[in-house]
């Protein structure tokens, strides 16, 4: 079944078809009825764009968190990431949110990322939880000492999310899976 909240094209197509029918009815049958169909078509098209703009689906919210974290990593801004992390955060290397944020702050002090481009971004959502798989090309700042080892590396991560009170999605875990196709974990960041 088509979800009009995730994809406004259904309402857009229905609105345009209604507009075409309205113009035809107005020209060939009745000016009054055709005008009502034209107005209805315009309202349906406006509803499609309005729903797309104002209603954020779970997928859009999770994807927005990922993009915000990417932009914050490039800007070395841990304060932007902190509210996106759940109080129940836990992964293999970080037992809680505080340790994870300390680690992020330490990484950002020496980070030299100039750009992150997603090669693959897969998000699976199921009953209030989500799992994202990120394959990224990470470009390093050419002026940094890290760039001497190579200005580009490829990273793979998995990130878990949970919908918390108020229907707000937050990150509950994150794992580094590989760097340059070599299996690894968070220890590589130290």
18-63 per-position pLDDT tens digit: 777 777 777 777 776 667 777 777 777 777 777 777 777 888 899 9
Element (H, E) at 46: helix 31-54
Mapping DSSP to helix (H, G, I), strand (E, B) and coil, where does residue 172 land?
strand
Token pair listed for 92 = 């293999």
pLDDT digits (tens, 9 = 90+) for 124-180: 999 889 999 999 999 988 776 666 667 788 999 999 999 998 889 999 999 999 888
- Specify the CATH architecture of the domain 80-189: Roll (3.10)
Token pair listed for 102 = 């300390």
Predicted TM-score of the model (pTM): 0.76
Residues linked to residue 158 through DSSP beta bridges, in sequence order? 133, 175
The owner of tokens 């971004």 is: 121
Angstrom distance (rounded) from CA 113 to CA 75: 8
């Amino acid at each position: 079944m088509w979800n009009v909240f995730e994809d406004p094209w259904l309402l857009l197509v229905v609105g345009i078809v209604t507009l075409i029918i309205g113009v035809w009815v107005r020209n060939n049958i009745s000016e009054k009825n055709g005008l009502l169909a034209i107005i209805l078509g315009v309202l349906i098209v406006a509803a499609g764009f309005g729903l797309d703009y104002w209603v954020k689906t779970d997928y859009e919210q999770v994807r927005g968190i990922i993009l915000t974290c990417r932009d914050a990593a490039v800007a070395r801004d841990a304060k932007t990431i902190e509210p996106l992390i759940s109080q129940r955060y836990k992964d293999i290397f970080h037992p809680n949110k505080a340790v994870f944020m300390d680690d992020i702050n330490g990484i950002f002090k020496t980070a030299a990322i100039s750009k992150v481009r997603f090669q693959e971004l897969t998000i699976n959502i199921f009953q209030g939880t989500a799992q994202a798989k990120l394959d990224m090309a990470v470009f390093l700042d050419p002026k940094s000492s890290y760039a001497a080892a190579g200005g580009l590396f490829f990273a793979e991560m998995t990130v878990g999310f949970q919908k918390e009170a108020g229907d707000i999605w937050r990150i509950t875990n994150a794992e580094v899976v590989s760097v340059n196709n070599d299996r690894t974990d968070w220890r590589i960041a130290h």
